[in-house]
């Protein structure tokens, strides 16, 4: 982490998207345990309320990051109930599996709408309040912003976009007293990653990965890294630890990824074609995990 002295979280207000499950839920619990007041934003009201029960003083908002009006209402509600926003943790995201030439275009575009444009909408709505408090923005990218695997083009493209957006934003608001960070995670034991492991394409891809990229890491590791990143207003949050060593060598990482992709792509392509034949392109391209299902259900409504 950065050498900046820890920033006291007690009494700070943190706006968290994707708060119902996985990293977002655990980060919210840990922030609350440090005395922060959290505004929890997600699509699943019942699950969100269960997280809020572990976060004293939390407020919840059911909102889709693809809906600017609903997102703005959540921001306005947070400011109205908690007095302002010190930190925004733009964490909502989905991950479809599929090959570019055959996946459902709607699934690809939905991923961009949530993962990239959703981050933009979240930050844009919160930023005036964060500037007012000279606070901190943390956007979630991924190791997929660095290493681009076949079968995950939609996800990788959005996470690379989040990284670029975040780096540009950092330069825009530094003189206003706002710090901006980008979080990079490898495979974390979240519902989304478990969904990827249950998907034929995802399982084939993961089964051929070697070294640290093949491992799954705990939500606790990722969440603690995020909380420490917020406390230090870090420009980058990387977990697991090996990502910190690999980050300066990112171009070499992609070359190694390309070598592994040679073994992954043919089988992933075949399996995805089989899934399309069996289930149709839309179902085969659907985002994995419970959160992904909720995102698509929200779209249908």
Whole-angstrom distance, CA of residue 247 vs CA of residue 269: 29
User: Which H/E stretch holds residue 155?
Assistant: helix 153-173
Contact status, residue 98 vs residue 272, Cβ threshold 8 Å: yes
Shortest CA distance to 253 belongs to which of 174, 149, 160? 149
Q: Which residues contact 201 (CB under 8 A, 6 or more apart)?
A: 97, 98, 99, 151, 268, 271, 272, 275
Beta-sheet pairing, 179-185 with 236-239: parallel
Residue with tokens 């459902």: 104
Provide Rg for the chain, Cα atoms.
18
CB 78 within 8 A of CB 40: no
Rounded Cα distance between 255 and 243, Å, is 16
**SS3 call for 253:** helix
Is 155 one of the catalytic residues? yes
With beta carbons less than 8 A apart as the criterion, state whether 129 and 79 touch.
Answer: yes
Measured between alpha carbons, how far is 136 from 147 in angstroms, rounded to an integer?
Answer: 27
Q: Which residues of 91-104 are buried (b: 16+ CB within 10 A; e: fewer)?
A: bbbbbbbbbeeebb
Find residue 158's DSSP bridge partners: none
First-residue to last-residue Cα distance in the chain: 42
Q: Give the residue numbers annotated as catalytic, written as ranges.
A: 155
């Amino acid at each position: 982490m950065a050498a900046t002295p820890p920033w006291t979280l007690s009494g700070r207000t943190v706006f968290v998207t994707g708060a119902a499950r996985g990293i977002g839920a655990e980060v919210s619990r840990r922030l609350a345990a440090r005395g922060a007041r959290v505004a929890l934003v997600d699509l699943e009201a019942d699950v969100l309320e269960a997280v809020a029960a572990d976060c004293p003083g939390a407020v919840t908002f059911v909102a889709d990051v693809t809906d600017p009006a609903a997102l703005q209402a959540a921001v306005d509600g947070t400011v109205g109930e908690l007095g302002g926003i010190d930190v925004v943790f733009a964490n909502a995201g989905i991950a479809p599996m599929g090959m570019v030439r055959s996946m459902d275009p709607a699934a690809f575009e939905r991923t961009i709408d949530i993962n990239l444009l959703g981050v933009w909408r979240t930050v844009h709505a919160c930023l005036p309040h964060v500037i007012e408090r000279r606070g901190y923005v943390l956007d979630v990218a991924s190791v997929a912003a660095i290493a681009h695997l076949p079968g995950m083009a939609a996800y990788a493209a959005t996470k690379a976009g989040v990284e670029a957006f975040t780096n540009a934003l950092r330069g825009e608001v530094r003189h206003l007293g706002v710090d901006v960070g980008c979080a990079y995670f490898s495979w974390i034991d979240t519902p989304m990653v478990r969904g990827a492991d249950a998907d034929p394409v995802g399982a084939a891809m993961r089964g051929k990965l070697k070294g640290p990229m093949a491992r799954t890491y705990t939500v606790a590791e990722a969440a603690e890294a995020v909380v420490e990143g917020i406390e230090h207003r870090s420009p980058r949050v990387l977990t697991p630890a090996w990502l910190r060593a690999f980050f300066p060598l990112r171009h070499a990482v992609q070359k190694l990824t390309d070598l592994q992709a040679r073994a992954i792509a043919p089988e992933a392509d075949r399996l995805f074609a089989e899934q399309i034949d069996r289930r149709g392109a839309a179902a085969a391209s659907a985002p994995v995990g419970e959160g992904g299902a909720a995102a698509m259900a929200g779209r249908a409504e």
